[in-house]
């Protein structure tokens, strides 16, 4: 299928009041797209639409909890009433919880799935009938944890794995039907958004995103690229792609590295806030794109190259070499025989080297 130019599109964006969703809404409006913005915080939604319309854009808002199917159906009703249809639907809303799988109550895990997984399902199944008839693009926001699970965000990792499986299956069904629907999965790495502040925290310290962190605008660029260029999936941040390759090549060693490093990387130096300050069950403090973290990368050579097929092959070779180099730094022992070479009385992790320092010039 051939997508319309963005300036001729009507785009639906969920989770539009902070972070990636907010960055995407503003960027899409600047490029001429007409917008239907959805989130739970109606006050911030209205303010955002007023901002866009005052600048010459065309945006409406719908207060909706994507975990409720009837709310998502209301989004469809509003977009049909105002614009008569849509060209791109972006399922972006998501929420997390920090803590071990034993710490996070099952009720909180189910609520997390309501938004992060079922919100994608509800939005996709609302969008697909219209897109099959008129053509268009469905964009689901996954994560690097769609490929590589991380400790202390187990339910979120599981939800994003589920988003990946659902999206891939839906894409295959559209292909088998010959439907004029592009289905894209965006997999951001660590992004500088207020995401940690919105999650429910069971840790002893305030959570943070691990390095390397990239700007939300890079994800917005990838989303808008997918709206105009049918593509299967896009990673945002070379660090995310390298980690995915490592996990594919040597999953056991990668698991060990993440298990040892991630618990420290996800904890900041700040004392934990009151646990009640979160957005798991209702809207929180919205309206910010950035999370205010330090050492944020403003560009990604990998992501820019991935959106230009002419240099993608060379990039793949470079990423493969980088992944192999990182794995080689962990020792020559294979994952399957790791325990066989471990001297008695020592830990298999004791002799692993630290991660190399991450700098703006050295990151991919």
pLDDT of residue 203: 97
| Contact status, residue 204 vs residue 275, Cβ threshold 8 Å | no
Span 38-64, pLDDT tens digits: 999 999 999 999 999 999 999 999 999
The DSSP string of 113-178 is HHHHTHHHHHHHHHHHHHHHHH-EEEEEE--GGGTS--TTBHHHHHHHHHHHHHHHHHHHHHHHHT
Span 255-304, pLDDT tens digits: 999 999 999 999 999 999 999 999 999 998 899 999 988 789 999 988 98
Span 317-358, pLDDT tens digits: 665 666 666 666 654 443 443 333 333 443 333 333 343 333
> Which domains, and CATH codes, for the chain?
6-281+295-340 (3.40.50.720)
Q: pLDDT-based confidence at 1, cuts 50/70/90?
A: confident
Q: Which residues are catalytic?
A: 156
Q: Average pLDDT of the chain?
A: 89
| Cβ-based neighbour number of residue 214 at 10 Å | 25
Among residues 239, 244, 247, the alpha carbon closest in space to that of 209 is found at 239
């Amino acid at each position: 299928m051939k997508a319309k130019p963005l300036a001729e599109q009507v785009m639906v964006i969920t989770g539009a009041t902070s972070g990636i969703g907010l960055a995407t809404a503003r960027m899409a409006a600047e490029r001429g797209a007409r917008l239907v913005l959805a989130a739970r915080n109606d006050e911030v939604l209205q303010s955002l639409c007023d901002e866009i319309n005052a600048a010459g854009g065309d945006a409406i808002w719908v207060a909706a909890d994507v975990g409720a199917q009837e709310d998502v159906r209301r989004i469809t009703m509003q977009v049909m009433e105002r614009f008569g249809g849509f060209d791109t639907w972006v399922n972006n809303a998501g929420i997390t919880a920090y803590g071990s799988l034993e710490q996070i109550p099952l009720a909180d895990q189910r609520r997390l799935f309501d938004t992060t997984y079922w919100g994608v399902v509800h939005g996709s199944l609302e969008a697909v009938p219209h897109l099959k008839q008129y053509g268009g693009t469905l964009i689901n926001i996954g994560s690097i944890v769609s490929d590589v699970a991380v400790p202390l965000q187990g339910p979120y990792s599981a939800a994003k794995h589920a988003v990946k499986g659902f999206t891939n299956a839906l894409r295959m069904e559209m292909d088998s039907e010959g439907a004029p629907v592009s289905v894209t999965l965006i997999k951001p790495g660590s992004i500088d958004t207020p995401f940690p502040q919105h999650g429910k925290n069971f840790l002893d310290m305030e959570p943070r995103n691990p390095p390397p962190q990239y700007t939300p605008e890079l994800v917005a660029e990838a989303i808008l690229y997918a709206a105009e260029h049918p593509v299967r999936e896009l990673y945002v941040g070379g660090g995310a792609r390298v980690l995915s390759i490592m996990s594919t090549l040597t999953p056991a060693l990668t698991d060990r590295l993440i298990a040892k490093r991630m618990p420290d990387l996800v904890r900041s130096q700040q004392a934990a806030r009151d646990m009640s300050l979160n957005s798991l069950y209702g809207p929180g403090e919205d309206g910010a794109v950035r999370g205010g973290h330090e050492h944020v990368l403003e560009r990604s050579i990998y992501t820019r190259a991935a959106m230009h097929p002419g240099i993608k092959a060379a990039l793949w070779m470079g990423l493969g070499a980088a992944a192999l180099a990182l794995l080689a730094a962990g020792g020559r022992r294979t994952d399957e025989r790791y325990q066989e070479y471990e001297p008695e009385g020592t830990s298999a992790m004791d002799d692993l080297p630290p991660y190399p320092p991450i700098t703006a010039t050295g990151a991919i």
